[in-house]
Amino acid sequence: MEEKAIDHPDVSTLPTKELQALVHELRVHQLELEMQNAELKRVQLELEQSKDEFQDLYDFAPVGYFTVSDIGLIIQANLTGAILLGLPRSKLINMRFGHFVVSESDDQWHRHIISVLKQEDKVDCDLTLRREDGSVFHAHLESIRTDAPAKPQGETDHRFIIRIAVRDITERKKAEKVLLENEQRYRSLFEGSRDGIVFTDMQGQIKAFNTVYREMLGYTSEELFSKTYKDLTPTQWVAIEDRIVSEQIIRRGYSDTYEKEYIGKDGRLIPIELNTFIVQEDGVNVGMWAIVRDISERKRLDAERSEMEKKLLHAQKLESLGAMAGGIAHDFNNLLMAIMGSLDFALDDPALTPKTRSSIETAMRASEKSAELSRQMLIYSGSGFYSPKDLDLGEVAHKNEDLFKSVIPKTTTLHCEINKGLPLILGDGEQIQRMLTNLVLNASESIGDNTGEVTIGTGVMDCDEEYLSGSQMEQKPEPGSFVFLEVRDTGCGMDAETQRKLFDPFFTTKFWGRGLGMAEVMGTVKGHHGAIIVESEVGKGTTIRVLFPVPKEVQAEPSLVIDAIDSKAPASESIASRKTVLVVEDEEFVRNMVLMRLESLGYETIPAVDGAEGVHLFRQRFNDIDLVLLDFAMPRMNGVEAFGELIRIKPDVKVILSSGYTENMVAKSFPGHKPAGFLNKPYNLNVMKTELERLLGTDG
């Protein structure tokens, strides 16, 4: 291609002035061009210097920097990173970063990468890396995903890259471990102490305390932090303690053991024994630690030792009998479960002869009577408080008047002195009705074949501590207002020894083989946190007055039911296929009987001999299992522990809990999430069927 000719002006024809101006303009342009070239060289030099400085900063930074490709290969690393991993940079290139992650941290690494790919922001994690020589170190990673820069033609083009900053935190981890161990030792000592521990500043302001100290006084943590130790000290002790602080604690750094009193939140005086010592920082007194021991029991025992020894032995006997009764009732219920279940199962046989069916039905009725005996033992143990509601004692007595008349001899006249408008109490109507029946029967038996009178009375009264100290119950209620229910008779009366044994299980002055009725009365009163006052004189009759505390606050709802198993969970939709039930039961005969019944109802079953095996099987097959029938008391892992594991595996798992203990007693073990249903052993298998259908639906 020919070059175009450029027309140049003929300078020879230009005037001198114009020529001079043109020359000047050319010189100016030349100077500007030279200045631009000089600036360009300066910028290029600064850029080279900055690049070198950045490279130095990048290479010698205290953090390892890596650039990783979209397939996990290292494509760039600084010198610190190479030193951290123990390889020259040239050998690191194209190695997988995951190669340096120890196997124990694989899951953390994979989760980290997934998080990096999902987020645009920086993501961090802690894991363990292994150097090329095999040594390991703890590392903190900060990673971010960025778009990969365009590559020249012929080079590999990446969709994105991951920039990773790696910091060696081995020493920090060691320090954290030591700090944690020290903190745990301190916390174990602090919270594990059987005595109260409190720290105050030099002005007496409370700054720290353990749980024992807080519970001793009855305050919340927030309330205690707002107080000084003088706020908790009765006036007569303030001057004495001030002298101990000035003469002992400040002067020599610690005190001798001394006694004083605290004022609890409820106003009661708490005798305590304490040791106090100074805390210094840089030689300056900054506070005081005190170890505080509640010596109320010691004081009480010192004052009443001879009398209390006798009462304590009796109370221990009753407590042991109660515990034994509860344990026997639980095991007895398991046995009855197997017996009644087997009988129930046998009744399903259409080939039974009428005679055989009648015998089985008789055995079933006897088993149900045995279950009633078991229930009595649970009540005696104080574990039978089923469904407490707001109750009118007068109404309970009035409704059962005809029943009471039917159980006493014709020679005995029944009178009712029932006051209306009594305050409501929180109680179980069925238990109180049984308790009143037992009291009426006991009163009528004291009259025997003679002519006499039994009177049922109700009312309300205020009781002080002195009056309540006469209660037959070991645990005395707090003074206050009580609704009472009393039964008076004109019978033979009781001497002191008979009164002392009146509520012992199987004690009777009648014929051999009776004696659970009054023990059941005591169990009912124990479950209701009440009191029993007995007034009797030989030849002049007996009055037994049962006191029920009036709730201090009127409940807004018409009835108050304690926390129980959530057995009102909504039923599922009708099922279209066979359901699978995991049966966790340690008693073999109960387990086998339940499995047989479930299979006869068309359920698939998976047996487990205890909670540990049940959790193991559920973890393996939780997608196949529709419901878990879980026993409460089991070896290795009990029902509470197993339930906690089950809901961790599958939060919406349907669980029916079964137990020989009462529902109320069992429910206390589940303060949070509760099972969907409850079966009280021994239960009828049709009840189990109904509960299963409620939770799983039916086949229609």
Percentage of the chain modeled with pLDDT above 90? 33
Out of 14-23, 188-197, 223-232, 401-410, least confident range: 14-23
In the DSSP assignment, the letter for residue 504 is S
Cis peptide before 477 (omega within 30 of 0): no
Read off the tokens for 46: 């600064």
Identify the residue whose tokens are 């940079």.
89
In the DSSP assignment, the letter for residue 249 is I
Cα(92)–Cα(201) distance, integer angstroms? 58
At 515 the pLDDT is: 55
Cβ of 596: how many Cβ atoms within 10 Å?
Answer: 15
Q: What is the mean pLDDT of the chain?
A: 82
**End-to-end distance of the chain based on CA atoms, in angstroms?**
95
What pairs with residue 197 in β-bridges? 291
Cα(542)–Cα(455) distance, integer angstroms? 11
The pLDDT confidence band at residue 518, using thresholds 50, 70 and 90, is confident
Cα(569)–Cα(224) distance, integer angstroms? 41
Cα(219)–Cα(216) distance, integer angstroms? 8
At 557 the pLDDT is: 37
What pairs with residue 416 in β-bridges? 456
Nearest CA-CA partner of 677 in 659, 698, 665: 659
Average pLDDT over residues 509-526: 68
Read off the tokens for 39: 């600036």
Amino acid at 547: L
User: Has residue 390 got a pLDDT over 80?
Assistant: yes
3-state helix, strand, coil in the chain (%, to 5): 45, 25, 30
Cβ of 628: how many Cβ atoms within 10 Å?
Answer: 27
Cα(286)–Cα(513) distance, integer angstroms? 71
Angle at 419 between CA 414 and CA 422, to 5 degrees: 135
Helix (H) or strand (E) holding 523: helix 517-527
The pLDDT confidence band at residue 606, using thresholds 50, 70 and 90, is very high
- Which range has the top average pLDDT, 43-47, 98-102, 320-324, 669-673? 98-102
Question: What does each C-alpha distance from 415 to 14, 403, 419, 458, 684 come to in angstroms?
Answer: 148, 13, 13, 12, 40
Helix (H) or strand (E) holding 671: none
Longest dimension (CA), the chain: 163
Average pLDDT over residues 148-155: 61
User: Has residue 373 got a pLDDT over 70?
Assistant: no
Cα(167)–Cα(666) distance, integer angstroms? 52
Read off the tokens for 110: 């994979």
- Mark 680-694 as b/e (b = at least 16 C-beta within 10 Å): bbbbebeebbebbbb
User: Has residue 668 got a pLDDT over 90?
Assistant: no
User: Has residue 399 got a pLDDT over 70?
Assistant: yes
455 close to 488: Cβ distance less than 8 angstroms: yes
476 close to 531: Cβ distance less than 8 angstroms: yes
Nearest CA-CA partner of 197 in 297, 295, 284, 294: 294
393 close to 545: Cβ distance less than 8 angstroms: no
174 close to 158: Cβ distance less than 8 angstroms: no
What pairs with residue 456 in β-bridges? 416, 487
Question: What does each C-alpha distance from 428 to 47, 377, 386, 478 come to in angstroms?
Answer: 89, 16, 7, 21
Cα(533)–Cα(471) distance, integer angstroms? 5
Q: Tell me phi and psi for residue 396, to 5 degrees.
A: -60, -45
Length of the chain: 700
At 285 the pLDDT is: 93
The pLDDT confidence band at residue 569, using thresholds 50, 70 and 90, is very low
At 600 the pLDDT is: 87
Cβ of 100: how many Cβ atoms within 10 Å?
Answer: 23
522 close to 546: Cβ distance less than 8 angstroms: no
User: Has residue 609 got a pLDDT over 80?
Assistant: yes
pLDDT tens profile 295-325: 998 888 888 777 666 666 656 665 666 566 6
329 close to 378: Cβ distance less than 8 angstroms: yes
Read off the tokens for 230: 């003088």
In the DSSP assignment, the letter for residue 248 is I
- Helix or strand or coil: residue 259? strand
At 573 the pLDDT is: 42
DSSP per-residue letters across 5-48: PPP---GGGS-HHHHHHHHHHHHHHHHHHHHHHHHHHHHHHHHH
Percentage of the chain modeled with pLDDT above 70? 82
Cα(619)–Cα(650) distance, integer angstroms? 9
Cα(409)–Cα(607) distance, integer angstroms? 54
Average pLDDT over residues 673-686: 85
Identify the residue whose tokens are 């002049």.
540
Read off the tokens for 666: 């069992």
pLDDT tens profile 222-272: 999 999 999 999 999 999 999 999 999 999 999 999 999 999 999 999 999
User: Has residue 672 got a pLDDT over 90?
Assistant: no
User: Has residue 577 got a pLDDT over 80?
Assistant: no
Helix (H) or strand (E) holding 459: strand 452-463
pLDDT tens profile 423-479: 888 888 878 888 888 888 888 888 888 888 999 988 888 999 889 888 888 788 899
pLDDT tens profile 50-73: 565 656 677 778 899 999 988 889
The pLDDT confidence band at residue 364, using thresholds 50, 70 and 90, is confident
User: Has residue 191 got a pLDDT over 80?
Assistant: yes
At 333 the pLDDT is: 73
User: Has residue 12 got a pLDDT over 70?
Assistant: no
What pairs with residue 144 in β-bridges? 163
At 326 the pLDDT is: 63
User: Has residue 107 got a pLDDT over 70?
Assistant: yes
505 close to 321: Cβ distance less than 8 angstroms: yes
Cα(562)–Cα(564) distance, integer angstroms? 6
Nearest CA-CA partner of 632 in 650, 656, 597: 656
The pLDDT confidence band at residue 567, using thresholds 50, 70 and 90, is very low
Q: Tell me phi and psi for residue 205, to 5 degrees.
A: -70, 130
Amino acid at 8: H
Helix (H) or strand (E) holding 81: helix 79-85
Nearest CA-CA partner of 562 in 366, 386, 348: 386
At 51 the pLDDT is: 61
Q: In the β-sheet with 136-147, what is the strand arrangement from edge to edge?
A: 74-77, 64-69, 160-168, 136-147, 123-130
Average pLDDT over residues 103-125: 89
DSSP per-residue letters across 588-646: HHHHHHHHHHHHHTT-EEEEESSHHHHHHHHHHHTTT--EEEEESS-SSS-HHHHHHHH
Q: Which residue has the higher pLDDT, 624 or 497?
A: 624
